[in-house]
Amino acid sequence: MYNLQFSYRYHPLKFIKPATTSRDTLTEKPSWIIRISAENEEGKRITGYGEVSIIEGLSVENSAQIKQELSKIEQQPNSLLSDNYNHLPALKFAIETALMDAQTDHHCLFDTPFTRREKAININGLVWMGPIEYMRKQLSEKIVAGFDCVKLKIGALDWEKERSLIEALRETYSKDEIMIRVDANGAFTNRSPHKKLEELAQLDVHSIEQVVAAGNWDLHKELCEHGAIPCALDEELIGTFERSEQEKMLDYIRPQFIILKPSLLGGLAASDQWISVAEERKIGWWATSALESNLGLNAIAQWCSSKENPIHQGLGTGSLYHNNFHSPLVVSGGQLHYSNDNWANFDELWPDA
């Protein structure tokens, strides 16, 4: 690539409704769109776009660090080809996917049955935290929409109420009709997990994500060995980039699953490494978005489709936002489809360029 050019625009994503987890409630999410332009070997100028998407307090980096590094790259574009950006995984994801995008037509990063519109991706329907009636309404909407796998964010409300919500769902639908996953986001305390996991097992819950806060390896190990339902590591993976450290973690904790969020882990290649380490140990995995816009989500969905992992993935269409971008991604019948080429014109973010 020759005559490299780099620019970026801040595009904060604005939630239609506040998004609540056991950690906090989000109304807006930082996001930057980067544009990389260069001349290829034939002298043709090519352009690619990527998204730097972070969740403050969860991502390794913060907004100030991202702004500083983006400004630095804009002044010295060639630096993006020499720095590995392991210390800024969201930026690494954006650069990696923008460079891939520059080599393709219509933002098609992977040639798969999914992008050829021949096959959809099975996904779970996500139920956000909130008042029980709000969660019950979301559940009903997911079932009507055709989802056969739902994931409930739990841990912020009274446990009896959360359990009763799952009980009501299971009274109507068997485990063969609806798969139920729950995500505690590290909310359960050291004193409570075993009893709660036993109650969830009685309700045929498929798995629980991040039972306790990251860093509690001993308790996680105990829950993975003796807990009543399969446990998945999620936030636990963030910030662990070296393969040797990943192997050490999975060898010690031995989870049943790991959850991959490429923009939090350092990109698609970094997620490939996690998959390799997990599969060597017969540990299952699925991917989820980390609240990216449709630009970042497109890259994750296409990458995910290249893996042909039949388990339900945690993807969607970014319908949480007022100001998302048009994309070919469509959810129908509990599946994610690549339906058309209805792409946003990202150059509109650079009206004065």
Which residue out of 67, 153, 195, 221 is catalytically annotated? 153
Residue 264 has phi, psi (to 5 degrees) of: -95, -20
14 assigned to active site:
no
Residues 6+ apart with CB under 8 A from 165: 132, 135, 136, 139, 152
SS3 29: strand
Q: What is the DSSP letter of 81?
A: G
Q: What is the CA radius of gyration of the chain?
A: 20
β-pairing, 207-209 vs 179-183, is parallel
Four-residue CA torsion sign, 159, 164, 165, 170: positive
29 assigned to active site:
no
Q: Which of 344, 302, 297, 351 is nearest to 319 (CA)?
A: 297
Helix (H) or strand (E) holding 265: helix 262-265
Which residue out of 29, 92, 196, 261 is catalytically annotated? 261
Cα 41 versus chain centre, distance: 35
Asked if residues 135 and 141 have their Cβ atoms less than 8 Å apart, the reply is no
| 335-338: strand order across its sheet | 121-122, 335-338, 329-332
Active site residues: 153, 261
